[in-house]
């Protein structure tokens, strides 16, 4: 409603303006050869401005027409960039969800069309699926230049060098990753494997404490303890029992229920007439992991009565939650009354 009102007022004002100006208008005569043209001054002015307006419109139209190819080119480039970014995002999603083959296939197709960080991301994605070791390392090396991808690329280059038995180079790149991220468990395990290969056991022991041991089922705990166990065996073969015992203690501090370490450590303590220490370690291991094997080892090492053995092991463990273990233990210790009691509970 307001627009129509404005338009009406404008037309009315123009009409009144024309009437007012016409009272002051004068005739202008223009002679062209024998042709005499009479025009009002107002008409000349109006025609002049109208021609100016038409000229501006024509120039604008010509400008648009001349810029159509450039506008089309820009539009096409924008569309191509948008399409490339969409494909890159799809590749990243597939990469995150462990569909590396599919993500690498997309990344290879758009590799020549992307720049900067997109190129670095593509290097990481393609490298994860690359079967050729040299090409794989080259892709990761290119990604090293990116500040945010440096640690990830260095970690994988270290793993490649470790696989190729180039331990010094592997350590160099693994430490680069470690400097950026000290909590990367995968990189820490790579470094530990490198130190095992280099026989750098002091570094191995120092670094192993960096791992998180909150999860009892963490396979890394077993791997680390296995290496320490193997080293302790070598030390024993070289008549370095005291050093071997330290490695076993370190292994048991990492994984208290490591059966081979428990076996070897308790044997060494018993041979040293220190069965109390062996029993202490075994009891701690049983509390950590309510395992019948550990309970059996404790029973065999203990010189106490069967009742004392059962009472000691059940003191700090919930019997009802481990009924089958304690039933087996009671049966092994020939505690018939306990067997009947546990069967009634079960």
pLDDT at 190 over 80: yes
Confidence of residue 117 (pLDDT cuts 50, 70, 90): confident
Per-position DSSP letters for 256-288, written without gaps between them: TT-HHHHHHHHHHHHHTT-HHHHHHHHHHHHHH
Residues 157-175: what's their mean pLDDT? 96
Which structure tokens are listed for 132? 């050729």
Give the residue with greater pLDDT, 266 vs 345.
Answer: 266
Domain ranges of the chain: 82-146, 147-200, 212-289, 304-346
CA dihedral 45, 50, 53, 57 (to 10 degrees): -160
Q: 212-289: which CATH architecture?
A: Alpha Horseshoe (1.25)
Comparing C-alpha atoms, which of 148, 99, 150, 151 is closest to residue 128? 99
Which structure tokens are listed for 243? 């050093």
pLDDT at 159 over 80: yes
Task: Tell me how far apart the alpha carbons of residues 225 and 120 are, in angstroms, rounded to a whole number.
Answer: 37
Task: Tell me how far apart the alpha carbons of residues 118 and 113 are, in angstroms, rounded to a whole number.
Answer: 10
Reported as a single tens digit per residue, the pLDDT across 213-234 is: 655 557 888 999 999 999 999 9
Task: Tell me how far apart the alpha carbons of residues 335 and 333 are, in angstroms, rounded to a whole number.
Answer: 6
Which structure tokens are listed for 20? 């007012």
Task: Please report how many Cα atoms fall inside a 13 Å half-sphere around the Cα of residue 41, on the Cβ side.
Answer: 7
pLDDT at 297 over 90: yes
Confidence of residue 59 (pLDDT cuts 50, 70, 90): confident
Residues 231-250: what's their mean pLDDT? 94
How distant, in Å, are the alpha carbons of 154, 235, 319, 330 from that of 259? Answer: 35, 19, 22, 21
Share of the chain above pLDDT 90, in %: 51
Residues 311-320: what's their mean pLDDT? 90
Sign of CA dihedral 301, 306, 312, 313: positive
Confidence of residue 17 (pLDDT cuts 50, 70, 90): low
Task: Tell me how far apart the alpha carbons of residues 164 and 100 are, in angstroms, rounded to a whole number.
Answer: 23
Burial of residue 198 (number of CB atoms within 10 Å: 0-12, 13-18, 19+): middle
Task: Please report how many Cα atoms fall inside a 13 Å half-sphere around the Cα of residue 276, on the Cβ side.
Answer: 0
Residues in contact with 88: Cβ distance below 8 Å, sequence separation at least 6, in sequence order: 106, 107, 110, 114, 118, 121, 122
Task: Tell me how far apart the alpha carbons of residues 278 and 294 are, in angstroms, rounded to a whole number.
Answer: 12
Q: Are 139 and 156 in contact (CB under 8 A)?
A: no
Which structure tokens are listed for 343? 């069967």
φ/ψ region of 290 (left if φ > 0, alpha if ψ in -120 to 50, else beta) reads beta
């Amino acid at each position: 409603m307001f627009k129509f009102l404005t338009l009406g007022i404008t037309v009315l004002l123009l009409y009144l303006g024309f009437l007012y100006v016409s009272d002051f208008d004068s005739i202008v005569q223009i002679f062209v050869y024998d042709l005499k043209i009479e025009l009002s001054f107002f008409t000349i002015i109006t025609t002049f401005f109208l021609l100016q307006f038409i000229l501006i419109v024509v120039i604008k139209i010509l400008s648009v027409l001349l810029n159509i190819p450039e506008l089309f080119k820009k539009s096409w480039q924008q569309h191509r960039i948008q399409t490339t970014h969409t494909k890159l995002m799809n590749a990243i999603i597939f990469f995150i969800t462990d569909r590396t083959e599919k993500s690498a296939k997309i990344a290879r197709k758009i590799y020549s069309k992307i720049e900067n960080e997109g190129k670095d991301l593509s290097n990481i994605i393609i490298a994860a699926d690359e079967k050729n070791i040299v090409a794989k390392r080259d892709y990761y090396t290119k990604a090293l230049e990116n500040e945010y991808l440096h640690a990830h690329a260095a970690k994988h280059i270290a793993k490649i060098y470790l696989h190729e038995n180039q331990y010094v180079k592997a350590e160099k790149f693994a430490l680069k990753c470690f400097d950026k991220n000290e909590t990367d468990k995968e990189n820490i395990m790579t470094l530990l494997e490198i130190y095992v290969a280099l026989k750098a056991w002091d570094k191995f022991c120092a670094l192993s404490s960096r791992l998180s041991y909150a999860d009892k089922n963490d396979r890394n705990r077993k791997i680390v303890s296995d290496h320490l166990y193997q080293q302790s065996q070598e030390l024993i073969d070289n008549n370095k029992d005291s050093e071997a015992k330290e490695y076993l203690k370190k292994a048991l501090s990492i994984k208290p229920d490591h059966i081979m370490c428990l076996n070897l450590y308790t044997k060494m303590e018993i041979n040293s007439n220190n069965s109390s220490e062996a029993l202490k370690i075994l009891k701690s291991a049983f509390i950590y992991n309510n395992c019948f094997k550990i309970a059996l080892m404790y029973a065999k090492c203990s010189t106490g009565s069967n009742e004392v053995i059962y009472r000691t092991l059940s003191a700090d463990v919930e019997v009802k939650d481990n009924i089958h273990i304690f039933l087996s233990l009671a049966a092994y210790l020939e505690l018939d009354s306990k067997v009947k009691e546990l069967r009634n509970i079960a």
